[in-house]
Amino acid sequence: MPIEPITNHRLYKKVADQIALLIQNGVYQPGQKLPGERNLIERLGVSRSSLREALISLETEGLIEIRDRSGIFVLGGGQVDNDATQNGDVLEVFAARELIEVEVAALAAQHAKQEHLETLTQLLGKMVVSSASDPKGAEHDRQFHLTLAQACGNRVLLRTVELLWENTQSVMEDQPPQIKHSESTWQAIVMEHRDIFHAIREKNPQAAQTAMQQHLENAIKRLTAPLR
């Protein structure tokens, strides 16, 4: 079974699925070393960051083990848990995000490195120039939150936020048209992300918690207001 180039968005998930399928089908056996990172990037046609997100996802699922200076080794023939992204309604998902991501913001304020701040700056800038109808805006939003989780330095926490966002995208697809963002609500979202970023940059955990809490509470209000 050949490795096929990946071209769609949410690349890390598709990369993870393809590598998991190769393991399930016995192309790569338990104990076997996967091709090197550069080799996989070239064969899959994806970026280094997308590949690394995929590998972290697979390691969290128990399919592989990333060994420093030794490479990536297959542990067993499981599968990526796609069912986890289908559980819960929209309010349950945002309630779960509030529990997790408020603490993620505080940890990010404590541990974010310069590279994380630079990425957050770039993503915030892209959100500013996006419109409510631009699908890239939602992806920039997702990457912003994932970067906060990456800054915490905990791969299990990162995977938890990834799963919460997969749930978010899944349940939002089923929402009625009136739930969709208007230009005014999108601008409010951008401003909320700006407040989170400022708290992270200032290394202020309490302000980061407050900004994230307000952002997610506002998100729930935006979702429920048209239904009242």
Break the chain into its structural domains and give their ranges: 11-74, 84-227
Q: Among residues 48, 20, 24, which one has the least CA distance to residue 36?
A: 48
* CATH number 1.10.10.10 is the correct assignment for the domain at 11-74: yes
Q: Among residues 88, 95, 87, which one has the least CA distance to residue 217?
A: 95
Q: How far is CA 89 from CA 1, 14, 126, 170, 212, in A?
A: 37, 24, 29, 10, 21
Q: Which CATH superfamily is domain 84-227 in?
A: GntR ligand-binding domain-like (1.20.120.530)
Residue with tokens 């104990």, as numbered in its chain:
31
Local confidence band at 207 (pLDDT 50, 70, 90 cut-offs): very high
**In this predicted model, what pLDDT tens digit does every residue of 155-202 receive, in sequence order?**
888 888 988 888 787 777 655 554 566 888 999 999 999 999 999 999
Least-confidence region, from 31-35, 59-63, 80-84, 184-188: 80-84
pTM: 0.63
Least-confidence region, from 58-72, 144-158, 192-206: 58-72
CA–CA distance, 35 with 73 (Å, rounded to integer) = 9
pLDDT of residue 148: 97
Local confidence band at 85 (pLDDT 50, 70, 90 cut-offs): very low
51 touches 37 (CB < 8 A): yes
CA–CA distance, 208 with 228 (Å, rounded to integer) = 30
Q: Can you name the residues that pair with 64 across neighbouring β-strands?
A: 74
Q: Can you name the residues that pair with 66 across neighbouring β-strands?
A: 72
